[in-house]
Amino acid sequence: MSLADHIADLSLVDHHVHGAFKGRLDRTAFEQLITESDRPVPPWLSTFDSQLGLAIRRYCAPLLGLQPHASPDDYLAARAQQDPNTLLLNAAGVSDYLVDTGYQADAVTGVDELAALSGSRAHEVVRLESELEYVAAHESTVAAVPHALLQRLEERTAGAVGLKSIVAYRHGFDFDPAEPSTREVLAALDRWYSAGADRVTDPVLLRWLLWIGARRGLPLQLHVGFGDTDLNLRTADPLLLTEWLRQVEPLGTQVALLHCYPFHREVGYLAHVFPHVYFDLGLTTMYVGARAAAVIAEGLELAPFGKLLYSSDAFGPAELHYLGAVLWRRAVTSVLGGFVEQDDWSAEDAVRVATLWGRDNARRLYRLPS
């Protein structure tokens, strides 16, 4: 079997993904879901005019019975006539979805619905910040929160495969890496409760959550780098996490850094030197479209190949669940194929590394059934 055939047939583990959007999408709604900007798209601009937009027209149009590169209007008209979720999810070739249920969960399919639509297994990843916010909404006294949070996490992680933190969004990585004392936590909870205890942004509480997460033993995912308007990209630089990574290393918890662009080379270094650091180029691969091979090649520079994970980070249109997989397969085939052609790698090694990246590393890390 050729390298291209092997990668085309490889069942992927999508280790960071969200649900698919339920219901119809008009052009305005669809365009708003294929950008990371939450600002209204100006009338003179189309988000189809982007690497992601052109990739949708190229790779998703044939699944809807259209020619590659169909116009956005033709594409959306064909989409409205069919069941795009079933078509696109089934074509992605993903055996397992690890679903982050902490972002706009009501707007998209839940874990079981995604499994039913795709015919794949789906597993939950629990967001730490959402769980603290849930506890705060149900506990009237600050003193009860630490115990209630641990109990809540015990229940929520009983069937989950991992935990996730969005500290990059809520504060950035420029926080004190040390585990906060009980006194510091209670003081921070007091401040937060006095302010209404809605969205948790206090750096003491966020790093308390990170330490609680690291102490639970499940793999801990952290958003890194590129994301939506809520983010300050400067403080989403993973090098700012170095000291925290050093401090949690003795706990033995494995840390998966998500997305990472444009800091994927920095993350490659962290994965190189720290045994507990993994990473993916999800979200990035689909947003850079025809440039995916360049980014994938950079991801293969310093990181040990046992540290690479595949994800789409799709949220909303099932085009994103499908494209994450298609563009990853194309880029990995092209880059690894190039190494083989140059006689730097054997074909067997290329197949083996592609399999580690697309499937086996995630199966081992999250203890998934094979």
Q: Which is nearer to Zn ion, 20 or 204 (CB)?
A: 20
Sign of CA dihedral 199, 145, 102, 227: positive
- Please state the closest distance from residue 313 (CB atom) to Zn ion, in A: 4
Q: How far apart are the first and last CA of the chain?
A: 21
- Please state the closest distance from residue 206 (CB atom) to Zn ion, in A: 17
Q: Which is nearer to Zn ion, 131 or 313 (CB)?
A: 313
Q: Which is nearer to Zn ion, 129 or 313 (CB)?
A: 313
Number of residues that bind Zn ion (CB under 5 A): 1
Q: Which is nearer to Zn ion, 71 or 232 (CB)?
A: 232
C-alpha to C-alpha distance for 138 and 71, rounded to whole angstroms: 50
Q: Which of 91, 101, 197 is nearest to 141 (CA)?
A: 197
- Please state the closest distance from residue 47 (CB atom) to Zn ion, in A: 18
Q: Which of 121, 136, 130, 120 is nearest to 100 (CA)?
A: 130
Q: Report the SS3 class of residue 48.
A: coil
Q: Binding to Zn ion (CB under 5 A): which residues in 187-206?
A: none
Site string for Zn ion, 216-235 (x = CB under 5 A): --------------------
- Please state the closest distance from residue 263 (CB atom) to Zn ion, in A: 16
Q: Which is nearer to Zn ion, 233 or 302 (CB)?
A: 233
- Please state the closest distance from residue 217 (CB atom) to Zn ion, in A: 22
Q: Which is nearer to Zn ion, 18 or 171 (CB)?
A: 18
Amino acid at 244: W
Omega prior to 317 cis, within 30 of 0? no
Residue with tokens 């909870």: 189
Tokens of 172: 């950035």
- Please state the closest distance from residue 100 (CB atom) to Zn ion, in A: 5
Give every strand in the sheet of 121-127, ordered side by side. 12-17, 94-100, 121-127, 162-165, 220-224, 255-259, 277-280, 308-309
Q: Which of 237, 341, 328 is nearest to 286 (CA)?
A: 328
Site string for Zn ion, 20-59 (x = CB under 5 A): ----------------------------------------
Q: Which is nearer to Zn ion, 169 or 208 (CB)?
A: 169
Q: Binding to Zn ion (CB under 5 A): which residues in 111-170?
A: none
Q: Kindly provide the b/e burial profile for residues 69-95, where b requires at least 16 CB atoms within 10 angstroms of the residue's own CB.
A: ebebeebbebbeeeebbebbbbbbbbb
Q: Binding to Zn ion (CB under 5 A): which residues in 283-322?
A: 313
In sequence order, what are the residues at sequence separation of 6 or more whose Cβ sits closer than 8 angstroms to the Cβ of residue 116?
none
- Please state the closest distance from residue 103 (CB atom) to Zn ion, in A: 6
Q: Which residue is nearest to Zn ion (CB)?
A: 313
Chain positions contacting Zn ion, by CB under 5 A: 313
